[in-house]
Structure 1
Amino acid sequence: MKVLSAEDVLRLVPMSTAVDAVRDAFRELAAGNFVLPPRQIFGDGTVLVMSAYHTPTGTAVVKKIGIALDQVPAIRATVIWTGNGEQLVADGSSITTLRTGAVVGVATDLLAQAGATRLTLIGTGAQAADQVRAVLAVRPITQITITGRSADRATALADQLATEFPEAKFTPSTSVEESIADTDIICCATSSTTPLFDADALPTTVHVNAIGAFRPTMRELPRNLLTTASTVVVDQREAALEESGEVIDAINSGALAETDLVELGPALSNPPTREGRTVFKSVGVGAQDWAIAAALANS
């Protein structure tokens, strides 16, 4: 049995590799090559269990997640991967942030303007850094604004990432409206229960990723963005309808139809428009965890 720490995960699977692995996994998902049981949710979302079985290889992954938004770190998880007579146990928190960043990289590569150079990140928690790493892996970003409620935390994260990406300019901010007014890509990684901004505050051409809201009671995106965007892509329609507060709100209001949601896997083979405002909403699926765990098992 191979046991891997968080440091091992980050060393063995760099972000560019993670993006490629997750992209391939979503293509496999679209081809029907995964069995994905519904996510099990306990304690009002404080404990989650996700699993995925890859039928062509007979390999599987199970992840147990404990979530406490009032603690640091907020996410504690363990991943178990089995296949070919082998078993791997790895730190699930690092895999979760890596695979969540990677799927944003996949979606950004699909939907953002090819020459995008400006990124705004909203959120300074555990998921934040890998959001930036993922976007920089697929677009020539030179300006990054790190936006958070705490100026100290925004500055600390900006300084940390600036040492990793010295060729880019990092600017901390506490004003969401100022940060999103003139940008090409936005990544939302917060635990907000109310929309972070209004669609009217956005540029006419912008790509927005939202990964922080994973419960029906949580919302990062405004309804009028989902209803006016040229394309709304989700990781999986069934998961979004079950867990995405933004999607549930927009559909329940009658402003959005289920058929308006484009799944990421099929979209990779039939790319939607990049015109105007585009949205990627993710709540996470087990195929992402499988992709990273399989990369670790084969490393």
Structure 2
Amino acid sequence: MPRTLGDDEVRAAVPMRDAVKAVRDAFTELAAGHFTQPERLVFGDGAVLVMTAHHAPSGTAVVKTLSVRLDRDPAILGTVVMAGTATPLVADATAVTTLRTGAVTGVATDLLAPAGAGRLALLGSGAQAADQVRAVATVRELREVAIHSRTTANARALAKRLGEEFPAVSFRVAESVEDALADAEIVNCATSSETPLFALSALPENVHVNAIGSFRPSMRELPTELLATASIVVVDQLGAALEEAGEVIKAVEDGVLDRDAIVELGAVLPSPPAVSGRTVFKSVGVAAQDWAIARSLAAHEE
């Protein structure tokens, strides 16, 4: 029987820098058609999720089963199982999910944020938050991080923990969203909000925004006006975004965002676009990301 790899084992085997590379490669392969990736199964209005992907070149497949309760810490519990390797692999889904979600933010930030961007605003202080910072720090030289959360005590604890991990970076707790965003060059949204976290007017004119928190049509972190006016809107996968990303669904339904103008991450990785103004990356998470981390874990275990 395979053992289940826990959080410490997952992170020891796949540091964030390796995770970013693995996820970047997986999205390139996804765009090339190397994955069979059905839409994820959703039960109980998102209380249970099942995600699967098969990678044809290697003959390997991953299945992730999650229990999601937003009033629980951690909100996500479950397992990731990889088949087709020499030894079947089972890993803690919380560790894999936060790592791969951070990693895709790193990929998108590297693609869309200005090369010298070093000021990050982090909205949210839950289980996903730390890996959001770690991922950006992997692809950009961070100087300042402003954290805003509806629970100030959590924001302070996170700032202290990350400050010890990144002593060269200045961390502070912002008392308001507007304060956090005032001079941000990169914004990471990692909340379960059902209403936009900020008004468009609160954003600087030149900023890259990552949004990874919402995964249901009823959830929205970003204002519709941002998606309507951004110079580019990139998603992990168009079909998944149109089914699950509340802010994308609303912007398309309102007629302010043309679905044909939405760009998939894998499609632009080979030829990075010239970017300016405000740019957006919206992720709901796809199974190819889980495969990327699980494949890295399996290679480490062999």
Equivalences for residues 60-75 of structure 1 within 5 A = 60-75=61-76
Equivalences for residues 189-200 of structure 1 within 5 A = 189-200=190-201
| Cα distance in 2 for residues equivalent to 1:149 and 1:64 | 29
The Cα RMSD (Å) is 0.8
| Cα distance in 2 for residues equivalent to 1:109 and 1:231 | 14
Tell me the SS of whatever aligns to 1:62.
strand
Kindly indicate whether the alpha-carbon contact (under 8 Å) linking 1:99 and 1:289 is maintained by their aligned counterparts in 2: yes
Q: Find the counterpart in structure 2 of residue 241 from structure 1.
A: 242
Kindly indicate whether the alpha-carbon contact (under 8 Å) linking 2:85 and 2:298 is maintained by their aligned counterparts in 1: no
1:2 is displaced (CA, Å) by 4.5
State the AA in 1 paired with 2:283: S
Q: Find the counterpart in structure 1 of residue 112 from structure 2.
A: 111
Q: Structure 1, residues 20-65: CA drift from partner, whole Å, max 9, x if none?
A: 0000000000100000011000011000000000000000000001
| Cα distance in 1 for residues equivalent to 2:166 and 2:27 | 28
Kindly indicate whether the alpha-carbon contact (under 8 Å) linking 2:211 and 2:221 is maintained by their aligned counterparts in 1: yes
Q: Find the counterpart in structure 2 of residue 136 from structure 1.
A: 137
Q: Structure 1, residues 240-273: CA drift from partner, whole Å, max 9, x if none?
A: 0000000000000111111110000011012223
Q: Find the counterpart in structure 2 of residue 94 from structure 1.
A: 95
Alignment of 1:82 with 2:83, yes or no, is: yes
1:173 is displaced (CA, Å) by 1.7
| Cα distance in 1 for residues equivalent to 2:122 and 2:101 | 14
State the AA in 2 paired with 1:163: E
1:67 is displaced (CA, Å) by 0.5
Q: Once structures 1 and 2 are overlaid, which stretch shifts more, 11-20 or 1-10?
A: 1-10
Tell me the SS of whatever aligns to 2:116.
coil
Instruction: Name the % identity.
Output: 60
| Cα distance in 2 for residues equivalent to 1:157 and 1:256 | 35
Alignment of 1:126 with 2:143, yes or no, is: no
Q: Structure 1, residues 213-263: CA drift from partner, whole Å, max 9, x if none?
A: 000000000000001000000000000000000000000011111111000
Q: Find the counterpart in structure 1 of residue 30 from structure 2.
A: 29
| Cα distance in 1 for residues equivalent to 2:187 and 2:257 | 22
Gap runs ≥5 in structure 2: none
State the AA in 1 paired with 2:69: A
| Cα distance in 2 for residues equivalent to 1:165 and 1:206 | 23
Gap runs ≥5 in structure 1: none
| Cα distance in 2 for residues equivalent to 1:132 and 1:148 | 14
Kindly indicate whether the alpha-carbon contact (under 8 Å) linking 1:2 and 1:87 is maintained by their aligned counterparts in 2: no
Normalised TM-score (structure 2):
0.98
Kindly indicate whether the alpha-carbon contact (under 8 Å) linking 1:230 and 1:273 is maintained by their aligned counterparts in 2: no
Q: Find the counterpart in structure 1 of residue 147 from structure 2.
A: 146
